[in-house]
Amino acid sequence: MSPSRVAGPKETSPGGTSLPCALIVLDGLGDRPHPDLGGKTPLEAARTPNLDRLAARGTLGNVVTVGPGIAPESDAGVLGLLGYDPRTDSPGRGVLEAEGVGLHVEPGQVAFRFNFATVDPENVVKDARVGRSLSTEEAKELAEAISRADLLGPEGVEARAQATVGHRGVLRLAPRSGGALSPEVSNSDPYYEKIGGLGHAVKPERPQIRRVKPLDGSEEAARTAGLVNLFVDRVPAVLRDHPVNVRRRARGGLEANHLLLRDAGTAPRGLRTFRDRWGTGGAALTEMPVERGLARLLELEDVFVGPVDPAHRAEGYRYRAQRCRELLAKQPFLYIHLKGPDEPGHDGDARKKREVVDALDEHFFGPFLEGLDLQRCRLLVTADHATPCILKGHSDDPVPVLLVGAPDLADPSRGDAPRKFSEATCEVGPLKGLLGRDLLDHLFLRGQAGRGAVPHAPARSPP
């Protein structure tokens, strides 16, 4: 990485640095040792020369993105990393997803994130993602059919379903009569529990679709729970013989015959923008609607590039690297969210997750770091949560942290020995034991926030 000047930001970065700063979030990167990788994690087993060079230049540690014992979803993990408390600050995953696809949620309305799913006649979930084989176009056809069916019309509520990416979608309930609805209701999705404004991943023994319950004693919550249960009961009749599922059955594919609803929310109140929280603006490069919605609500410049096509992963990551360099040259802060490692974690495919990390290192970090002068910027690489392949879901494990840039942040206690960027090396790094809300204090040089301390070593030559 030869020195090359990064153009100065349009405004001053927050805290104790005037240098442009980037938070790079690798979705679901954290993991546990896996037998398919000889007892290594996918990150440890991956070939990561670019990340390893950053590790040699910077300081390592780990972070619990939300709090001990909480296995967060991406929205909660990112809110924590951006310095918020998702338990009180989050408007709900449903609202973030809706805003990310331009489906605005007004006060008195509620929005849910949903998955199309495959369930058996007893409502036991056989596949919560329809085998990841449901195309976005198929999902759009199904969602439009649900909206046209006006399933809660007799109860005076518009139920609008909108597909987003693949098996994912959002549902907005808007009352036409009868008063406001309440987001204080539980999930029908058996794999997530709602805790305040965030979703918490769980592992049910028998993943049966749940009856939705009010979470407080209000009439609005009781009415909303009843309406959602009616909606859930009526959806299968719309989906069962839809042409999409007829075609899928004919070719032996899984049917998208139900919806799993989670994380109800309503129009946010009192959510501080990123500028209000940190005293500066910035941009966000995102791939999924939930992160796009978060960027919009926090009033970060919205740079949405969509998900990477697995058939063109190298080109996709190189394009993202180019866009990020352009943004870093003109923005004081850049939040980068790359989805890659999370999906093979959910699928339990440790080898595929290792391959994705390989590709990220070669095709994103390689071009992104080419010619970047680390004396003129600061980078923080981490994850929004762990998705251990052995669990096939999110966990509360701490995730790796790598902080690099000016002033030089090499850990003086380790000497010049090479080291791998991995969960094991980060577990003993000087930044171990951080909470998500403390992380940007370190990136922005706002003193020794949290339980970790950033060592400031003498300047070193670029690697």
Same domain membership, residue 144 and residue 125:
yes
For residue 61, pLDDT beyond 50: yes
The verdict on residue 454 lying in a domain is no
Angle between helices 93-100 and 289-297 (to 10 degrees): 90
Same domain membership, residue 300 and residue 423:
yes
The verdict on residue 125 lying in a domain is yes
Please compute the mean of the pLDDT values over residues 71-89 and round it to a whole number: 92
- Can you tell me whether residue 85 is helix, strand or coil? coil
Which pLDDT tens digit goes with each residue over 174-213? Answer: 999 999 999 999 999 999 999 877 788 888 999 999 999 9
For residue 458, pLDDT beyond 90: no
Instruction: Give pTM, 2 decimals.
Output: 0.86
Q: Identify the pLDDT of residue 195.
A: 83
Count structural domains, the chain.
Answer: 2
Same domain membership, residue 145 and residue 85:
no
Question: Which of 454, 445, 450 has its CA nearest to residue 411?
Answer: 454
Q: E strands of 247-351, at which residues?
A: 258-265, 283-286, 301-304, 333-338
* More confident site: 418 or 419: 419
Which pLDDT tens digit goes with each residue over 153-174? Answer: 999 999 999 999 999 999 999 9
Q: Which of 265, 296, 327 is the last residue of a domain?
A: 265
Contact (CB, 8 A) for 262 and 189: yes
Q: Identify the pLDDT of residue 153.
A: 97
Take residue 358 and report the two structure tokens written for it. Answer: 């390989």
Take residue 201 and report the two structure tokens written for it. Answer: 């991943």
Q: What is the CA radius of gyration of the chain?
A: 22
Please compute the mean of the pLDDT values over residues 79-87 and round it to a whole number: 93
pLDDT band, residue 419 (cuts 50/70/90): confident
Return the ∠ at Cα 280 (arms to 459 and 83), rounded to 5°: 80
For residue 263, pLDDT beyond 80: yes
Please compute the mean of the pLDDT values over residues 65-90 and round it to a whole number: 92
* More confident site: 262 or 452: 262
Tell me the percentage of the chain whose pLDDT exceeds 90.
82
Same domain membership, residue 43 and residue 65:
yes
Same domain membership, residue 343 and residue 230:
no
For residue 4, pLDDT beyond 50: no
For residue 456, pLDDT beyond 80: no
Instruction: Give the type of residue at 233.
Output: D
Q: How confident is the prediction for the chain on average, in pLDDT?
A: 90
Same domain membership, residue 418 and residue 300:
yes
pLDDT band, residue 18 (cuts 50/70/90): confident
For residue 206, the 8-state DSSP code is S
Q: Identify the pLDDT of residue 412.
A: 52
- Can you tell me whether residue 310 is helix, strand or coil? helix
Is omega for the bond preceding 398 within 30 degrees of 0, making it cis? no
Q: Identify the pLDDT of residue 414.
A: 54
Q: Identify the pLDDT of residue 452.
A: 38
The verdict on residue 457 lying in a domain is no
Q: Identify the pLDDT of residue 114.
A: 97
Contact (CB, 8 A) for 414 and 422: no
Q: Identify the pLDDT of residue 341.
A: 97
The verdict on residue 231 lying in a domain is yes
Structural domain containing residue 163:
95-265
Contact (CB, 8 A) for 372 and 4: yes
Q: Identify the pLDDT of residue 446.
A: 81
Q: Identify the pLDDT of residue 413.
A: 52
How far apart are the two ends of the chain, measured CA to CA in Å? 7
Please compute the mean of the pLDDT values over residues 389-394 and round it to a whole number: 94
Please compute the mean of the pLDDT values over residues 89-115 and round it to a whole number: 94
For residue 457, pLDDT beyond 70: no
Same domain membership, residue 260 and residue 165:
yes
Same domain membership, residue 326 and residue 222:
no
For residue 5, pLDDT beyond 80: no
Same domain membership, residue 148 and residue 72:
no
- Distance (Å, rounded) from C-alpha 272 to C-alpha 138? 37
For residue 463, pLDDT beyond 60: no
Q: Which of 265, 296, 328 is the last residue of a domain?
A: 265
Q: Identify the pLDDT of residue 11.
A: 56
Which pLDDT tens digit goes with each residue over 320-378? Answer: 999 999 999 999 999 999 999 999 999 999 999 999 999 999 999 999 999 999 999 99
Q: Identify the pLDDT of residue 454.
A: 33
How far is CA 175 from each of CA 43, 179, 227, rounded to the nearest angstrom?
A: 47, 7, 11
Q: Which of 247, 265, 283 is the last residue of a domain?
A: 265
Q: Please, where are the H alpha helices in 128-191?
A: 136-149
The verdict on residue 179 lying in a domain is yes
Same domain membership, residue 344 and residue 252:
no
The verdict on residue 356 lying in a domain is yes
Same domain membership, residue 424 and residue 404:
yes
Take residue 328 and report the two structure tokens written for it. Answer: 């870093």
- Can you tell me whether residue 392 is helix, strand or coil? coil
The verdict on residue 451 lying in a domain is no
Same domain membership, residue 221 and residue 275:
no
For residue 2, pLDDT beyond 50: no
For residue 253, pLDDT beyond 60: yes
Domain of residue 370, CATH code: 3.40.720.10
Q: Identify the pLDDT of residue 286.
A: 96
Which pLDDT tens digit goes with each residue over 394-414? Answer: 999 999 999 999 876 555 555
The verdict on residue 9 lying in a domain is no
